[in-house]
Structure 1
Amino acid sequence: MNDWENHKITGKNRIAARNLLIPFDNEKEALKTDKKKSPYFKSLNGTWKFKYHETPFHVDDRFSKPDYDAENWDNLAVPSNWQMHGYGKPHYTNSNFPFPCDPPRVPTENPTGCYRRNFFIDSSWDGKEIFIRFEGVDSAFYFWINGKMAGFSKGSRIPAEFNITKLLKKGANCIAAQVMQWSDASYVEDQDMWWLSGIFREVYLVAVPKVELSDIFIKSTLDEKYKNGTVDVEAVLTNYGNGEIKNHNMEFTLFDNNEKEIKTHIQKFSLKAGTDKKISFNIEVEKPEHWTAETPYLYKVLVTIKDSSGNVVSAKSVRTGFRNIEIKNGVMMVNGRRILVRGVNRHDSHPDEGRAVPYETILKDILLMKQHNINTVRTSHYPNAPEFYDLCDEYGLYVIAEADLETHGTGRTSNPLMISDNPEWEDVYLDRMKRMVESYKNHPSIIIWSLGNESFFGRNHKSMAEWTRSRDKTRLIHYDRDLKMETVDFLSQMYASPEMCIERVKEFNYKYPFILCEYAHAMGNGPGVFKEYWDLFYSNEQIQGGCVWEWVDHGIRQFDENGKEYFAYGGDFGDKPNDGNFCMDGMIFPDRTPSPCLAEYKKAIQPVHVEIKDLKKGIINILNRYDFINMKHLQGSWHLLLDGKIIESGTIPELDIASGKNMDFKIPFKNKFDEKSEFFLNICFILKEGNIWAEAGHSVAFDQLELKSSLPKFAPSVSGEKMNVSEDNNMIKLNTANSEIIVDKIYGVLSSWTVNGAELIRKGPRMNFWRVPIDNDRRNIDD
């Protein structure tokens, strides 16, 4: 059996998943947390030699040898998806597998990419242990170092790491990789997106000393009063050497965001050759700053390993934030406060690079989200690029971190649970969950772990939840297909109507919060019903918001014969089966231009609400809908409009309004409101000062209040003329002196209308409930 068709093999020679930290020679450099500045980090991004094959059976098995001549091969950038560079074609499906559903087997026609490049190891890495990390390879791959098999892995959007020390030599080295588009893993990666292949995320080498901090789990939480904090640390120390090491120290130091030292813990340790040691301890911190999406305060942790003489062996750093995620009285809370999920679902997608999304585009997404009042991202439906989590920590976004798991296509068969409820696939599910959790466990932005998407619900999900809960009790667990709440911590359902949301929380006696993991499908002109949903979220404690489907259109930039740009979707590349433009359902266009839908969403979720309290006295009421922060950072202003023209304006004094509180403000109107004119009051709230996501003057919220309307009042016309009514078995007649109306009783239609003997209609109107279909209708309408 081929490895890529054997679901019992998830990898070969891959080390256990961990939170990889990059080592530095000294503490000062380590605190900068810039891995590219470390002498022990080497990126393998760049130009690789590349050869495309229609099937893995066409691959020359000598291609991995160092002396193999690949000069005539093409050049291909890493990271990239090969379809975006003319090899094969992009293929879009929503739920269908693009091949017959017969797990774990995949087609013989299995596009395969072969990669090669050389790299150099100099003497500064002598005596080091050297690892290679692939952040994302779609779908399964082998790789070789200097002609020797080094490893194999599956799991397209989760890191794969290998120890390659024994395969390297000083000087020039050769790496070769063989990537298959299809594997048994494809059956659990059916995630409503383009099927794109290759080494599409970063590849790099890391050199570490023979004794190192190989993993760390930091849980920074608050006490029951949310006043003081505790940093719980689980550190793994490893001796890769052949001899025992004695009397080393691990120094753990916590710094604030100005790099002022808060506390230090020193742990002495010894390690026998080739062994690991787990060390656990905690540090108490008085009155720490809290991390929330509104106040993303980050502390820095420096971990230094010193030898018995006090010399620095290596220094590593990681960021942390103090926050508690919990459910109390059926309400999800962060740091003891109810939050509302003002969220979106985000795929990794770029119109030119596919899923190899540049850092600048990831940052653009984060900035746009913050500028449009979004506070939560669900990483649909797999871990997003590693840089994304760093930015969420820094800029302030809650993350629902989702496992790389979806078996949607099995729903087209007679046995939808053929994988999710099959114990033979349990290790596949656990592998994906473990690798995500271990890789990203130190990010304070992650408040929820998700077991995947649209994979029905079976025993393998229960195993995922059981392991996750045993590993991390500081976060909640989500999976919307667990409708009976067997494993998850809160209710979730996609596309539930407002009425259904209420029914779901009632069904469980208001014991659990409810969050829409997907709602308001943003296809076409706009999703609608935002107001109805948000009226519900504000009025019902247990119903706490949701994530709009979805953030960005997945269009691929193309040009027609006249050079005109357009964005292609399913079927535009001859890909069959496909789901057409169903991938064009984002709140921003593929080039990151916001759509009108995003402006509507920004308004619906804005953190300030204004109402008229007393029009005669000119009093308005301003409500602070932030979850945590005061409104002092905002500047308010008002404009009075008469028939659309500003006639008065002013500012609102300091907005000292705490979260959840409100304040009255008297508008000093000079004009009187006459009955013949239209008056509106516009209220706007902008940032007083710039911050990392917007400049001063950025508009956060606005309201427009109608004061007086100039719309005419209509009254029915009364002529006083007498009307006679007569009726028989088939019709009703209504007559005046010069007119007659006849209604057909059998068909219920107006059949005749005459005035002064002249017929006014050819036939009467009939009920017509049809409207022009919108994009969200088209997939349910037969051609």
Structure 2
Amino acid sequence: MIKKLFLIAVIIFLTQSIHAQETQYQYLSGTDKDHTLTWDFFINTGMKSGHWDKIQVPSNWEQQGFGTYNYYQDTKNPEETAQYRYKFNVSKNNAGKTVFIVFEAAMTEAEVKINGKLAGPIHQGGFYTFQYDITSLLNFGGDNLLEVKVSKQSTDQSINKAERKADFWLFGGIFRPVYLKILPKANIDRIAVDAKASGAFNLDVYTANAEIGSVLKARVQKLNGENVGAEISSKIISVEKAATLRGQFKDIALWNPESPNLYQVVVSLNDSKGHLIHRTKQKFSFRTAELRPQDGFYVNNKKIIFKGVNRHSEWPESGRTLSKALNIQDVKLMKEMNMNAVRMSHYPPDPSFLDACDSLGLFVINELTGWQAKYDTEIGTKLVKELVVRDVNHPSIVMWANGNEGGFNYALDSLYAKYDNQKRLVIHPWEKFNGTDTKHYPDYNYVTNATLYGREVFFPTEFMHGLHDGGHGAGLDDFWSMMMKHPYAAGGFLWSFADEGVTRLDRNGEMDIQGNSAPDGILGPHREKEGSFYTIKEIWSPVQISLKDLPVNFDGKIAVANQYHFTNLNQGSFEWRLAKLPAPGDQNKPTVTASGKLKGNNLLPGESGFLTLPLPVNWKNNDVLYLTAFDQYQQELFTWSWPVKMPAVPVVTGNIEKSKIQVAETNKVLTLNVNGITYNFDKNTGYIQDVINKKSKISISGGPALAGVKCSLKDLKHYAIGDDYVVEPVYNSEAKFKVKWIFSSGKPVKLDYEYSINGEVDFMGITFNYPKENITGMKWEGNGPYRVWKNRLKGTKFGIWDNDFNNTITGESWHYPEFKGYYANVYWVTIKNKQSPFTVYTTNKGTFFQMLKPQKAVGATNDNTHPPFPDGDLGFLDAISPIGTKFQSADKMGPQSQKNMQLNYTWNKGSLWFDFK
């Protein structure tokens, strides 16, 4: 018993001893936006200024109700300065150790005092981690006072130009955590890992106060603590430079976004007798990243394509103060869009965001701030070091960006390698530099020319500017197809991830997106998904299905392509479903009649093959076939859908009052009463004027009008054919427009129409008017739930959808899906309204339905993102208009973005059935 107690005591002692030799952290602030601590605070101008108050740290002070909001440049209250105070205690047990105070970021210039004395030089630069050795300033075991003076503007004008005159929100404050880092006097200051795909392992260890002859040891482990290979050790022979430990490891799992395998290395500093002095632990991965000029970008000897997006570190209620949970959420949303890369715009992010990229799998371009203006060399040299030293060990980072769009200080380019033993590529986003062409916002012709004649590895670091609902998914299909033809293609990065909206506390919580400056995300400020989210998801899916329609003799065989870089398709799986869809008025949900699961094909990256679905014999009795691809983690890559049947003549349900068709007319109106429903036609135009059923008047009017063409009525014929009655407006021959209404007892009303148009047009089809103030929603069978554009047809799914009315303007309000717009492949649609709902059935597959006209964005400075719509309110169209981007009109965006062209006078024919009962 005594021996057992002694053994337990020894174990406890050793555990405590080892723990005492590890770095300790004592937070003086909270850890993120959701976990803060209260400090004393005083601000000199703006909101709640001129008196001492309380503030939560970390935070941007504007989002705590202080100071002044500025976007793009500090033109209002540029002298804004605040003072922070906080009292803290450091245990007596830490006397004799080294204590650093660490600020993960303070915006923009910070003067730090401990107990009334300066901790060190004023730190300049708002996005970087900095620290001071405050050991000699502390009262161990007693109270200590931390005082921080933070100024929005820097005394260094190059910082103001690079950071404070930039196209993003310019906040102030200590917006990332503050903590004490407590180490033994002799310690491991930092490490840099270079672990190659070959298994070669190089570790640079920087020490402080270590004696020559001390021993460094490194043990590589899996994250569960299982040792990998042999321990590596080396004696310190110089304290002037880093000690390098080298090893070679076998059978290691490499890191890539598809399989983000992580390891850890435990590094210990021991004295010459083997006693542990200090120990630290660092996650890393075995991974090689390199540019091969006039070839491409390679990771682990595989040529890769960046499917990326630019991301600001921002949340509406907290500014640039984020959280681990939010950072993980953003990475998961990118992965959900089948992205494999992200560019930091335009500053280094929270460490936890990079941790999420490491563990969940995203390539990262990490960026030094410099939005169209550069740091000078003196300050830039310091900030490059702070950037690289903090982030050097993240395997997700595959290159550094030295500024943005002209904000390049060429004297800094060589400094990255000084702190990065992996010697990662340095680029200048927007510029041809270092063997790369990262052109921003190329139009389609630029991409075509670069494909034909370019000599650089091509990956635009900003493209498809997603202002409002334009860009992003719209035009991406054409751009991506052409970009993939480039012999040195390396993909690209969309602009941008989320609308950079801020809830303004000086405007009762109004969401401010600064006109057209910040509503350019694929997601809204609170990560609301726009339609382009799903278009990108389909286009960038690593499993590609090219089947557009089910052929008549479909036998279940579907062509499939593996566009992964590292993963065999047999690591994933597929699921198919056949479903029957409810008819209009049927409140039941779709019914799955048959389904099955399939293992992925044995296809290596880049290979194609066929997937065979074991469909039942009666599969054609269903309405829709769905096919879902899953990755190796059972995450959905995309779900494709194909209608099984063509649009059909509606089946009459319920009681329709059969009666003899009654006809009456005046000088102005032709009236028919059919099945208890009254139809009025305007004799001057030939258009329907309204419909009256037993419940209400239905104010449908003004149609069918030929979209975009003025037609003058020549005659309004009406006549009986057997038991049916026909109303036939006749237009002047140059209109090339024919219309025929057919009324039958006991049936819905049929409308036959045909038209012929020659040349370029924005849209083609017929329209009707209906008061938008009466519309409450729409339910339809077709592609949904999002609207489409001519150049953004991918990403929707065939089914039954039910959307309520909204007046959402993409990027200026965020109730998605937007209600107004074009919808694809509509088989029938029920117009829900305040009068009496009515349903219209189509008979042509591929019919587009127009629901009203979207309102032009208030912040729009041109019509690029406000495409043409017909004059009518409800349209049944054969062709619709494309949409452009912030910088390009639609015609600059590729083949799918051109106007609709008919070279000959071909007649387009269609039929609609109207059920007004």
Task: Give TM class, smaller chain.
Answer: 0.7 to 0.9
Over residues 589-643 of structure 1, what are the superposed CA-to-partner deviations in whole Å (9 max), with x where a residue is unaligned? 2222323222222122111112459845432122222211123343312234678
Picking from 402, 412, 433, the partner of 1:464 is 412
Cα gap change, 1:456 to 1:89, in 2 (>3 Å): closer
Instruction: Give 2:371's aligned residue.
Output: 406
Highest relative contact order (Cα 8 Å, sep 6+), 1 or 2?
Answer: 1
Question: How many angstroms apart in 1 are the aligned matches of 2:523 and 2:55?
Answer: 29
Picking from 254, 277, 290, the partner of 1:313 is 277
State the AA in 1 paired with 2:205: A
Map 1:53-64 to 2 at 5 A. Answer: 53-54=44-45
Question: How many angstroms apart in 1 are the aligned matches of 2:597 and 2:636?
Answer: 15
Over residues 76-107 of structure 1, what are the superposed CA-to-partner deviations in whole Å (9 max), with x where a residue is unaligned? 111111111221232223xxx343xxxxxxx9
Instruction: Give 2:260's aligned residue.
Output: 296
Root mean square deviation, CA, Å: 3.8
Map 1:565-580 to 2 at 5 A. Answer: 567-570=511-514, 580=515
Q: Are the counterparts in 2 of residues 526 and 596 from structure 1 also a CA contact under 8 Å?
A: no
Match status 1:600 vs 2:535: yes
Picking from 603, 623, 627, the partner of 2:561 is 623
Instruction: Give 2:343's aligned residue.
Output: 378
Q: Are the counterparts in 2 of residues 289 and 322 from structure 1 also a CA contact under 8 Å?
A: yes
Map 1:282-681 to 2 at 5 A. Answer: 282-328=246-292, 330-407=295-372, 425-455=376-406, 460=409, 462-469=410-417, 471-472=419-420, 474-483=423-432, 485=433, 488-509=434-455, 512-527=456-471, 528-557=474-503, 567-570=511-514, 580-612=515-547, 615-640=553-578, 649-657=594-602, 658-671=604-617, 680-681=624-625
Match status 1:187 vs 2:154: no
Helix, strand or coil at the partner of 2:600: coil
Instruction: Give 1:220's aligned residue.
Output: 195
Question: How many angstroms apart in 1 are the aligned matches of 2:233 and 2:214?
Answer: 10
Question: How many angstroms apart in 2 are the aligned matches of 1:620 and 1:30?
Answer: 63
Helix, strand or coil at the partner of 1:516: coil
Over residues 635-690 of structure 1, what are the superposed CA-to-partner deviations in whole Å (9 max), with x where a residue is unaligned? 3122346788768633243214332223323333445798xx996532112357xx
Instruction: Give 2:795's aligned residue.
Output: none
Q: Are the counterparts in 2 of residues 534 and 605 from structure 1 also a CA contact under 8 Å?
A: no
Question: How many angstroms apart in 1 are the aligned matches of 2:266 and 2:413?
Answer: 31
- Offset, 1:446: 0.1
Instruction: Give 1:573's aligned residue.
Output: none
Match status 1:704 vs 2:669: no
Picking from 42, 61, 65, the partner of 1:86 is 65
Q: Are the counterparts in 2 of residues 112 and 178 from structure 1 also a CA contact under 8 Å?
A: yes
Question: How many angstroms apart in 1 are the aligned matches of 2:334 and 2:858?
Answer: 24
Q: Are the counterparts in 2 of residues 130 and 208 from structure 1 also a CA contact under 8 Å?
A: yes
State the AA in 1 paired with 2:147: A
Instruction: Give 2:149's aligned residue.
Output: 178
Identity of aligned residues (%): 24
Q: Are the counterparts in 1 of residues 452 and 486 from structure 2 also a CA contact under 8 Å?
A: no
- Offset, 1:138: 0.8
Question: How many angstroms apart in 2 are the aligned matches of 1:376 and 1:41?
Answer: 34
Q: Are the counterparts in 2 of residues 134 and 159 from structure 1 also a CA contact under 8 Å?
A: yes
- Offset, 1:566: 5.1
Instruction: Give 1:577's aligned residue.
Output: none
Q: Are the counterparts in 2 of residues 191 and 381 from structure 1 also a CA contact under 8 Å?
A: no
Question: How many angstroms apart in 1 are the aligned matches of 2:485 and 2:17?
Answer: 47
- Offset, 1:710: 4.9
Over residues 361-393 of structure 1, what are the superposed CA-to-partner deviations in whole Å (9 max), with x where a residue is unaligned? 112112222233221111100001111111111
Question: How many angstroms apart in 1 are the aligned matches of 2:319 and 2:710?
Answer: 58
Q: Are the counterparts in 2 of residues 31 and 317 from structure 1 also a CA contact under 8 Å?
A: no
Over residues 471-527 of structure 1, what are the superposed CA-to-partner deviations in whole Å (9 max), with x where a residue is unaligned? 5454222213323x3xx2421112113431232244434xx3211211222232352
Over residues 412-448 of structure 1, what are the superposed CA-to-partner deviations in whole Å (9 max), with x where a residue is unaligned? xxxxxxx67xxxx222333332321122111111001
Question: How many angstroms apart in 2 are the aligned matches of 1:27 and 1:406?
Answer: 52
Question: How many angstroms apart in 2 are the aligned matches of 1:29 and 1:621?
Answer: 61
Over residues 87-144 of structure 1, what are the superposed CA-to-partner deviations in whole Å (9 max), with x where a residue is unaligned? 1232223xxx343xxxxxxx98511111111111121211111111111111112111
Q: Are the counterparts in 2 of residues 31 and 302 from structure 1 also a CA contact under 8 Å?
A: no
Over residues 227-285 of structure 1, what are the superposed CA-to-partner deviations in whole Å (9 max), with x where a residue is unaligned? x3111122122217xxxx354221111112332212211222367xxx54421231111
Q: Are the counterparts in 1 of residues 24 and 181 from structure 2 also a CA contact under 8 Å?
A: no
Over residues 755-779 of structure 1, what are the superposed CA-to-partner deviations in whole Å (9 max), with x where a residue is unaligned? 6999968999999979978559823
The range that moved more, 634-643 or 388-397, is: 634-643
Q: Are the counterparts in 2 of residues 40 and 125 from structure 1 also a CA contact under 8 Å?
A: no
Cα gap change, 1:467 to 1:506, in 2 (>3 Å): farther
Match status 1:268 vs 2:235: yes
The range that moved more, 637-646 or 110-119, is: 637-646
Q: Are the counterparts in 1 of residues 310 and 343 from structure 2 also a CA contact under 8 Å?
A: yes
Q: Are the counterparts in 2 of residues 26 and 314 from structure 1 also a CA contact under 8 Å?
A: no
Cα gap change, 1:631 to 1:179, in 2 (>3 Å): same
Helix, strand or coil at the partner of 1:638: strand
Instruction: Give 1:122's aligned residue.
Output: 91
Question: How many angstroms apart in 2 are the aligned matches of 1:490 and 1:619?
Answer: 41
Q: Are the counterparts in 1 of residues 39 and 54 from structure 2 also a CA contact under 8 Å?
A: yes
TM-score (norm 1): 0.74
Cα gap change, 1:455 to 1:98, in 2 (>3 Å): farther
Instruction: Give 1:207's aligned residue.
Output: 182
Cα gap change, 1:292 to 1:27, in 2 (>3 Å): farther
Question: How many angstroms apart in 2 are the aligned matches of 1:31 and 1:647?
Answer: 60
Helix, strand or coil at the partner of 1:519: coil
State the AA in 2 paired with 1:53: N
Structure 1 unaligned residues grouped into runs of 5+: 1-24, 60-71, 100-106, 223-227, 409-418, 571-579, 713-748
Cα gap change, 1:640 to 1:540, in 2 (>3 Å): farther
Over residues 445-464 of structure 1, what are the superposed CA-to-partner deviations in whole Å (9 max), with x where a residue is unaligned? 1001011212355xx2x222
Picking from 181, 185, 204, the partner of 1:234 is 204
Question: How many angstroms apart in 1 are the aligned matches of 2:200 and 2:81?
Answer: 50
TM-score (norm 2): 0.64
Question: How many angstroms apart in 2 are the aligned matches of 1:773 and 1:233?
Answer: 58
Instruction: Give 1:3's aligned residue.
Output: none
- Offset, 1:43: 3.6
Question: How many angstroms apart in 1 are the aligned matches of 2:453 and 2:132?
Answer: 48
Map 1:748-759 to 2 at 5 A. Answer: 754=714
The range that moved more, 600-609 or 294-303, is: 600-609
Q: Are the counterparts in 2 of residues 40 and 208 from structure 1 also a CA contact under 8 Å?
A: no
Cα gap change, 1:193 to 1:502, in 2 (>3 Å): same
Question: How many angstroms apart in 1 are the aligned matches of 2:357 and 2:467?
Answer: 26
Q: Are the counterparts in 1 of residues 451 and 485 from structure 2 also a CA contact under 8 Å?
A: no
Structure 2 unaligned residues grouped into runs of 5+: 1-11, 31-36, 583-589, 650-708, 718-728, 736-756, 764-852, 865-917
Cα gap change, 1:51 to 1:215, in 2 (>3 Å): same
Question: How many angstroms apart in 1 are the aligned matches of 2:138 and 2:261?
Answer: 42
Question: How many angstroms apart in 2 are the aligned matches of 1:553 and 1:108?
Answer: 26
Instruction: Give 2:56's aligned residue.
Output: 77
State the AA in 2 paired with 1:356: T
Helix, strand or coil at the partner of 2:569: coil
The range that moved more, 527-536 or 45-54, is: 527-536
Instruction: Give 1:6's aligned residue.
Output: none
Structure of larger gyration radius: 2
Cα gap change, 1:259 to 1:537, in 2 (>3 Å): farther
Question: How many angstroms apart in 1 are the aligned matches of 2:226 and 2:619?
Answer: 59
